[in-house]
Structure 1
Amino acid sequence: MDPRPSSPSDRLDSVAAQVTRVRAGAIVAGAQADHLAEETPVALEFNGISHATMLATPADLEDFAVGFSLSEGIIDSVADVRGIDVLPQCDGIVVQVEISSACEARLKSRRRAMAGRTGCGLCGVETLPEVLRPVDPVPAGAPLAIGAVLRAMGAMRARQALHDLTGATHAAGWADADGTVALVREDVGRHNALDKLVGALARQTMQAGGGMVLVSSRASFEMVQKTASAGVGVLAAVSAPTALAVRLADSAGIALLGFLRGADATLYSHPERITS
């Protein structure tokens, strides 16, 4: 099982706070104790080159760095990572990732392409293929029982310790074909939570392909991309997918399920991967 902090005092991902509560339309006298999820600027550097800064929960940052690197195509496998240093700063955290020289050269080439002409007020023309980059299809595998998927979602909810403490975070989990949840990662950002999960799977060298990814959010295009980067053929979400996410799941061979609530779900792609 994946160890998680057992008490609020053990955590780096939340802080204590004093709040005033309103109940039944009336202010409750006296301040009461509560906890808030931390949200910290996390800057990722690759071989000394600043690449991206995200607001994230400052836990499992080594997993985050590896998962982000894999899902963004910066590295091909965890073996391309030579080292990770997490350096707290006064205004955030810098995560320094040392990657192989081949991956560094590819990253520099991509950065040069993305620094080109501007086609609109939001992004350069050259960046659009980067955002909508194709993913390798996930190999076919034995179908998973819908009962196992539904059980796994319920089991993941029971392991969202930071959400229980703060009510402010998303979770991403991985479960095996029987629906046993082996890993859960949480973050204020749903994409960050999934990157942390992808990184944890890679760092623990787990054979993820025969299981499923679970997310406590909607299923966007990027969530499908990240699932495909982990080689997992089933993605189950609490809320709805987008049309673009369904199209990518269909082309990538991923069974995409949404609206997992109790014993209900909606299957949007590759129904052959799910069985009764």
Structure 2
Amino acid sequence: MTGLNLPQASLDVAIASTDAEGSHWAIATEHPVEIGFNGRAWTVMMASPGDLEDLAFGLAVSEGVLNADARPDAIEIMTYAEGTTVDIRIAAKAINGDRLTRRTLDGHTGCGLCGIESLAELHAPGPGQRRALNISDAAIERAFNNISDRQTLNQQTHSVHAAAWCSPVGVIEFVREDVGRHNALDKLIGLLAAAGRIEAPGFVLMSSRCSYELVYKTAATGASALVTLSAPTSLALQLADAINLQILTRGPGGRVVRLGV
């Protein structure tokens, strides 16, 4: 059940301009979103107010609270003056209580080591059994060249990230956008899980740098590679190597660079 009166994804703001009439710009909305299970709050994220069912389900899957094949009875969304609540209604036995109670997430859009109790948890996904797909440079370029046309919110605001699921030949099949790059990826994961596509062959494309949390979350999918617009950090590469995930990005001259694995 979806509540009424969700905020708009962007706000129309007047800006100064060199012409006499001035101009307007759509500014991305950043909105508090509380995610919980069966009426009990779990975490609060700052997110774009769209595709919130995907965000809640995807976050639960990427954090190991729910399995990707879990099917909620309902996802209830209600909006209040303070923000929006997203409540996943699901049988208690489907919830991994250990992951639910051990992590208290601080959901800022630029979050770092949020809610991790020990450094050992950075390697929690473990080595993955990933398909050894030979994703060609042409497939990567195809995805890069088409992602802008699929970023409808970013075309208005110029300030949000996109996470895309691409087929092995570089066809963009699904896209989700958010002010937070990890939120965008969680939305994509939630969409894939709900569609039964979480283990499909392909790769993830992000319109951002490659940070460790994106690698961590991509581990919840069957992706053979994580492709990002700009370079990874050292920790992202270390974690990607640990879970057998290839990292690709654009290097000098715009050429595709393959890193790790």
Report the TM range for the smaller structure's normalisation.
Answer: 0.7 to 0.9
**CA separation in 2, counterparts of 1:47 and 1:129?**
30
Moved more, 213-222 or 29-38: 29-38
The amino acid of 1:12's aligned partner reads: Q
* Per-residue deviation, 1:63: 0.8
Query: Aligned pairs, how many?
Result: 247
| CA distance 1:196–1:111, change in 2 (3 Å) | closer
- The equivalences for 1:59-208 within 5 A come to 59-104=50-95, 106-107=96-97, 109-110=98-99, 112-113=101-102, 126-206=117-197, 208=199
Aligned partners of 1:47 and 1:96 also within 8 Å: yes
SS in structure 1 of the partner of residue 174 of structure 2: strand
How far apart are the structure 1 equivalents of 2:229 and 2:116? 34
2:133–2:224 contact (8 Å) kept in structure 1: no
* Equivalent residues of 2:165, 2:202 under 8 A apart: yes
Which of the pair has more CA radius of gyration? 1
Question: Residue 223 of structure 1: SS of its match in structure 2?
Answer: helix
* AA aligned opposite 1:210: P
Deviation at 1:185, TM superposition (A): 0.6
Q: What TM-score, normalized by structure 2, do the two folds share?
A: 0.86
In the alignment, is the contact (CA less than 8 A) between 2:127 and 2:244 conserved in 1? Answer: no
Amino acid at match of 1:57: S
Query: What is the distance in 2 between the residues matched to 1:125 and 1:173?
Result: 26
1:209 Cα offset (Å) = 3.4
SS of the residue corresponding to residue 209 of structure 1 reads coil
Q: CA deviation at 1:206?
A: 2.3
| Alpha-carbon distance change, 192 to 207 in structure 1, aligned in 2, over 3 angstroms | closer
1:19 corresponds to: 15
Pairwise CA distance, 1:212? 0.8
Q: How far off is 1:243 after superposition?
A: 1.0
Cα offset, 1:47, TM superposition: 1.8
- The answer to whether 1:29 aligns with 2:20 is yes
> In structure 2, what is the Cα distance between the partners aligned to 1:124 and 1:209?
30
- The RMSD of aligned alpha carbons is 2.4
Give the alignment's TM-score, normalised by structure 1.
0.81
Gaps of 5+ in 1: 1-10, 22-26, 116-121, 271-276
Aligned to 2:232: 241
Aligned mates of 1:28, 1:125 — CA distance in 2: 51
Task: Give ranges in structure 2 of 5+ residues lacking alignment.
Answer: 1-6, 105-112
Q: Which amino acid is 1:97 matched to?
A: I
Q: 2:246 aligned to 255, 259, 270, which one? A: 255
Report SS of the residue matched to 1:79. Answer: coil
The answer on 1:42 being equivalent to 2:38 is no
> Within 2, Cα distance between the matches of 1:261 and 1:165?
29
1:227 to 210, 218, 221: 218
Provide, for residues 67-124 of structure 1, a one-character-per-residue CA deviation record: whole Å limited to 9, x for no partner: 10110101012424232011111121100012331243x32x4455558xxxxxx988
